[in-house]
Every structure is written in structure tokens, then in C-alpha cells.
Amino acid sequence: MTDYSTIDFSGLEALSADEVVTHSYVRDIRLPSGKTLALITLDNGRDHTRPNTLGPVTLMEYGKTLDALTERAAAGEIDAVAVTGKPYILAAGADLSKVGEIPSQAVAKKMAQLGHFVFGKMKNVGVPSFAFVNGLALGGGVEVALAADYRTIDSSTPALALPEVFLGIIPGWGGAYLLPNLIGIENALKVIVENPLKNNRTLKGQDAFDLGIADAIFGPANYLEDSLTWADGVLTGAVKVKRPNEPGKIERMVKWDVAIGIARKMLESRIGTVAKSPYAALDLLKAAKSGTPEEGFAREDDALAELIAGDQFRASIYAFDLVQKRAKRPAGAPDKALAKPVTKVGIIGAGLMASQFALLFVRRLQVPVVITDLDQARVDKGLDYIRGEIATLLSKGRISPDESNRLNALIHGTTDKAEFNDADWVIEAVFEELGVKQDVFAEIEKHVSETAVLATNTSSLSVEQIGAKLAHPERLVGFHFFNPVAVMPLVEVVNAPATDEATLSTAMVTAAKLKKNAVITRDTPGFVVNRILAKVLGEAMHAVDTGTSFEVMNRALDPFGLPMTPFELLELVGLKVGAHVLDTHHAAFPDRFFESENLHGLAEHGKIFDRDGKGKITGFDKKAVAIVTPPKGEANPMTEAEILRRVEDGLADEVHRMLDDDVVHAAEDIDLCLILGAGYPFQMGGLTPYLDRVGASERVFGDTFHHPVIRGVE
């Protein structure tokens, strides 16, 4: 058992020279029964935009406060202790930028132990302890509350979460042990593993109460008074605390391991096995079934220290920073003041992509959206989809009946291009054929005003060539969404040679209004995401074309960390689309990109995998394997390691060229595109830190993309 009192934590303050200290202010409150409750308020003295955080100095002060209260409890001066936060905020957890500066695993371990040391004092204060979760509580903020005997929560709490797994670490200040023992294993898995991986989903006050994280819930109007009265009831015995989700014997003996097993399978199929933190969290949750809190906390210390010092946490911090900062202020964005107002949107094509972004435009811009296609039947199909989605949003309570009526009234479908006359933003998503797109724009230009902006959703054609028949090519910009549009946060904004500043600015401002992150790219084949994926998929197809088995190829890139295997990705984007993308890249860069006859064969055949009734992969389709397998004697199979190395080196070369050619402004933009447009996991930190870490950058161009290389410490 760790005796935290013997550990010297004094070195840790150095890590937080500029820590904004969250102070612990204490005041005594007389409860209705006459008992005295010492209320600690955590407050960093800043406004609500700077939540309380928990750096080493803060924790040490909180610890000293609890020491003083322990003495007062022993002297009989107080009957209870409670902790709450400044208005609407309990605490947002550790200051992660500082955690990233931890120099060694030994220091990381001390940081983990400091949390346990301090929060342990709450448990041992000698009188009943309460946490009043009066608002935002994230990570360590939740663990402050879990350390108390009882909790209440404000129903207006906007977000409560243990997001650590998302950032490559685990809830290591008590969360991984205490939460499952409070709310049961299935609920704890949701909070600690599933939600972080679902785009970092958080709980509202009511959700947290329903899961059993809090024992009582009160509205914001009299939250503190109500919590104090309730606490008084607990002290006097008038209130009996019930914990229906607390795990019983049967749950521990039967359900626990089963739930962990199911979660593990879910993880393996969704994110592969490369990301360490979700699996470390699973191991801790599994072990939390039995043993003392002290044993659980010691395991948390070890796991947290190892992860904090490792590559993946540093990579996550880098990725988090990109998404928080660089994505919000895109490199090379022109003056916003140049942007033209968008008061009516025209959409050409009512297919898969067009109908999805028609919905997005109407919801986010709240302006009339007119959609067209080759004939009325196709228009109607697109409209049916959009209206169906609006109905679903309404039935789920995501929009009000008024909003639903408004959106339906704003959407209009037609085959008459004259209805585009007053549109000031027109975007096309017709077939991916140059001639078709050129003709579509030449035709629409006859209808729209002089100043209307035109946008193309092409995935890989040249925007310059698409605009070749335009009288005003300066008004055309690439605006490349990713499927599914509602989920994928990226838009590649393609700045073609003729595109003028006002058009580019309109595109950037429009992307922001759509709540998408825009990255500006040059007008080069595949822009960023498809060029990288074409490289990966081309190498993968080349491996099987030359005789590597499907099994070997399909697993070879696992360490690279993409959320799915190359073959799964090909089926997801569609085999025909995939073949087309490879052809386009081969045509542009014949010396570096493979095309694949076999992929066309697979596209004709229609599938690679066998699947069960629920769509789950059960194996490779025999016919697909036969199509690709070369005749005996011609086969020259590769090993998994050879394929991985080819892909890594090929990507290092490609990214290096992209930067030389100014396809984007910096390596960070390529990383951002992969994270936001291809689901590349945070734990990998984007593509370029990965290529540096595995040595591909050095091998290929004798340098690294990042100086210093983003990696962990010993």
C-alpha cells in the first residue's frame, strides 16, 4: 500500500511556475439543525471563461485546507465538510498544457500520487463529506467530487465528464476505481471509455444524476441552499441516501467481466488496438471489481504515470492543441471583412452528398436553400431525404416544431435553374466528371448574379479546370466536404489559381457558419486527405496485386492507427469511388501512385467482405480473393512489416513534397486534415508526428517534420 505521506511532492511546484492557482476558501455555515458545515469554495479568481484548474500548487493548497478542517473536526468544531466551486464551475481538471511538460515518468508518478494524496484527505476528514457539483466538472473536477461521501448536482450543469481517455490518459485521481464502484460497471464504461471516444461526449446534470454520479439534484435557483438543507438531512438521518446503481454481489461476480469483455470487443472493432489509453482504462475498470481503494489508487498511479510519460499523450496534447487553436484560426485565411453575404444557397445535384449538405446549409445559415438535379424524380428523392432528416431531428427533440416548420419552408427543390437567379452561393455535387462539372457551371453562370460565389465539392478534380468554361473563374472555389457530412468536421477549401480573395473569404466564413473546420489547400490532385489515403490504399492494393494474402495486407497497417483497415475503408468509400481516386492520382503522379486493375474488378464484383445480417464482417468474400490473386509463379508476396514500411516511407515522401509545393501552409495543417477528415486518432497526434516517431522522416529526407520530435519521456 502506498503511504502517500512519505512522498516528497515539493519538486512539483516547479512544473507550474505560472499556474493560475485555484484557491480553497472556507466558510462555516450553520445548518437548520444547528450543526456546522465547513464549505470549501474552489475559485481561481477569474471570470467564467477561465475555469478552475487543478495544478500542483492548487492541489497542495486544497490539501492544507483539508488538513486544517481535519483538525477542526477532531476538535468538534465542525460536523461536516463540503466542497463546491465558483459560480457554475466546479473544476475543469488538470491543466494539460502543464502536464505535457512533465520531464520523466518518475515525476509523472508523483503527479498522479499527489491527486490521491490530497483527495484522500477528504475521505479521512473525520466527519461526513459532501461535494456540491454546481456546474462544469471535468476530469480531476469530477474526481474532487467522487472523493466525497455524498454528492449533489445542479440540474443546469452543462457538462460533466471524465474525458481522459480521449487525450491518451486515464482518470487516475480515483475516477477509474471509485466510479464503477459507485454507479456500476456498465455505466462507468459509458462515462470513462465510450463517451470520450464519441467525440468527447459529456453529461448534463440530469444525465449524471440518472447514472448515479450524484445522490440528489436541485435546480439552479436555490442550488446551494437546497444542497445544504439536503446535507443537513443526511447528517440528522432525515434523508436516507439510496444508490440503486451501486454494484451488488451478482454484478461483481457475473456482469462485471462480461461487460468488460464486450467493451473490449467494441473497442477492437471500432478503433483497433493501437491507442493505449482506452485499454489501460479497461484494465483498471476490470480490476476495480475487487480490492481496496488503496490498491485501486496504486494501479491508477502506475497506469497514469506510464501514459503521461508515453508518446501517445504528448501526441494527443499536440492534436488537441491543433483542434482547439489552429482549426479555429486557419492559416492563410483572408480578411473576413472581404466575405460576401450569403442570403440564398443553390445546390446542384440532389444525391448522397448534396442532400446532406443542403440540410446543413439550411440548419446553420437559416436562409432559403434551393436544390436541383437532372429530373424531378431525383430532386424529390433528395428532398425526401432532407425532410426525413428534419422529421428525425424533431422526433428526437433536437429541434422544436417551429424550427422544423421553418427548415421545411426554407428548403425548395426544382428542375428550373431560373430559381438560382438570386442565389449568392451555389455549390455543386454532381458526378465526379470534369466535363459534367464544367457544363454545370457554364450553365449556372448564365443564371446567377455577377457577384455570386460558386463552389465545387469535387474530391479530386482540378478546380481550375472545372472553372475553365466560366466567364468569371475568380468566383469559383473548392469546398470539399467529407461523408457523413453531419459528423465529419472538416472542409478542405481549395484556393485555385484564379480564386480571388473575396471568394476565398466567403468560403472560409461560410465554413465557420456551418460549424466546420476549414483548411485551405492548393489546387492539387486529391488536396490533402484523399492524396494521403490514395497513397495508403494504392500501396495496399499493390501488395495484394503482387500476391500478398488479403489477411496479411489487411492487418499490416494496424500500427499506423487509422480507424479501419484499408479494405474496410475501400468498402466504406465505395469500391468504384476508390478505384476512381486511385486512377486520378496515378494519372497525376504516375511514378509514385499505383492504379489497380484488380480494384476495378472488385468494384464490378461489388464487395470484398462477407458480412452477417447485422453488417458485421465474417470473412473475405471468396470471389473477391479469386479476382485479385495472381497466377502461381507470378506471386511475390510481402510481409506485414514490408508493407508498413513502404506506406510509412511513401507517406513521408508525399508529405514532404506537399509541403515543398505549398499544398498547405505547414505540416500541422496536414495533421489537422487527417484528424478531422479521416478520423486519425488523437493518440497518434496526426500523421507527421507519427512519421517522425517511426523514423520514416529521417529515412526519406534526412530530417523530421517537428523539432523536437513529439514523443514521450523515459
Provide the binding-site residues for ligand NAD, judged by CB under 6 A: 348-354, 372-374, 378, 429-432, 436, 440, 457-459, 481-483, 573
Cβ distance to ligand NAD smaller for residue 372 or 510: 372
User: Virtual CA dihedral for 63, 69, 73, 79, nearest 10 degrees?
Assistant: -110
Q: How far apart are CA 382 and CA 353, in angstroms?
A: 10
In whole angstroms, the minimum distance from the beta carbon of 388 to ligand NAD comes to 16
Give every CB contact of residue 609 below 8 A, 6+ residues apart in sequence. Answer: 567, 568, 571, 617, 618, 619, 620, 621, 624
Residue with cell 479555429: 328
Cβ distance to ligand NAD smaller for residue 209 or 357: 357
In whole angstroms, the minimum distance from the beta carbon of 624 to ligand NAD comes to 21
In whole angstroms, the minimum distance from the beta carbon of 588 to ligand NAD comes to 15
| Secondary element (H or E) of residue 119 | helix 105-123
Cβ distance to ligand NAD smaller for residue 183 or 440: 440
Give every CB contact of residue 540 below 8 A, 6+ residues apart in sequence. Answer: 553, 556, 557, 566, 567, 643, 647
Helix, strand, coil percent content, the chain, rounded in steps of 5: 50, 10, 35
Cβ atoms of 476 and 448 closer than 8 Å: no
Cβ atoms of 546 and 552 closer than 8 Å: no
Cβ distance to ligand NAD smaller for residue 164 or 571: 571
Cβ atoms of 530 and 460 closer than 8 Å: yes
Query: Please, is 633 exposed, middle or buried when counting C-beta atoms within 10 Å of its C-beta (0-12, 13-18, 19+)?
Result: exposed
Q: How far apart are CA 317 and CA 167, in angstroms?
A: 7
HEC states along 188-233?
A: HHHHHHHHHHCCCCCECHHHHHHHCCCCEEECCCCHHHHHHHHHHH
In whole angstroms, the minimum distance from the beta carbon of 687 to ligand NAD comes to 20
Radius of gyration of the chain (CA): 28
Omega before residue 590 within 30° of 0, cis: no
In whole angstroms, the minimum distance from the beta carbon of 404 to ligand NAD comes to 25
Q: How far apart are CA 1 and CA 292, in angstroms?
A: 10
101, 164, 225, 551: which is the annotated catalytic residue?
164
Cβ distance to ligand NAD smaller for residue 350 or 520: 350
In whole angstroms, the minimum distance from the beta carbon of 399 to ligand NAD comes to 24
Q: How far apart are CA 165 and CA 683, in angstroms?
A: 9
Q: Dihedral sign, CA of 203, 209, 214, 219?
A: positive
Cβ distance to ligand NAD smaller for residue 314 or 378: 378
Q: How far apart are CA 453 and CA 427, in angstroms?
A: 8
Cβ atoms of 70 and 28 closer than 8 Å: no
In whole angstroms, the minimum distance from the beta carbon of 331 to ligand NAD comes to 22
Q: How far apart are CA 89 and CA 81, in angstroms?
A: 19
In whole angstroms, the minimum distance from the beta carbon of 561 to ligand NAD comes to 22
In whole angstroms, the minimum distance from the beta carbon of 480 to ligand NAD comes to 6
Using CA atoms, how far residue 6 sits from 113, 114, 470, 496, in Å, is 11, 11, 76, 64
Give every CB contact of residue 77 below 8 A, 6+ residues apart in sequence. Answer: 36
Cβ atoms of 40 and 84 closer than 8 Å: yes
Q: How far apart are CA 58 and CA 236, in angstroms?
A: 33
13, 71, 143, 595: which is the annotated catalytic residue?
143
Angle between helices 575-588 and 566-573 (to 10 degrees): 100
Q: For residue 221, how many C-alpha atoms fall within 13 Å in the half-sphere facing its CB? A: 0
In whole angstroms, the minimum distance from the beta carbon of 199 to ligand NAD comes to 19
Is 300 marked active-site?
A: no
Which is nearest to 310 in space by CA: 264, 274, 265, 284? Answer: 274
Is 164 marked active-site?
A: yes
The residue of the chain with the least Cβ separation from ligand NAD equals 351
In whole angstroms, the minimum distance from the beta carbon of 329 to ligand NAD comes to 25
Please identify every residue annotated as catalytic: 143, 164
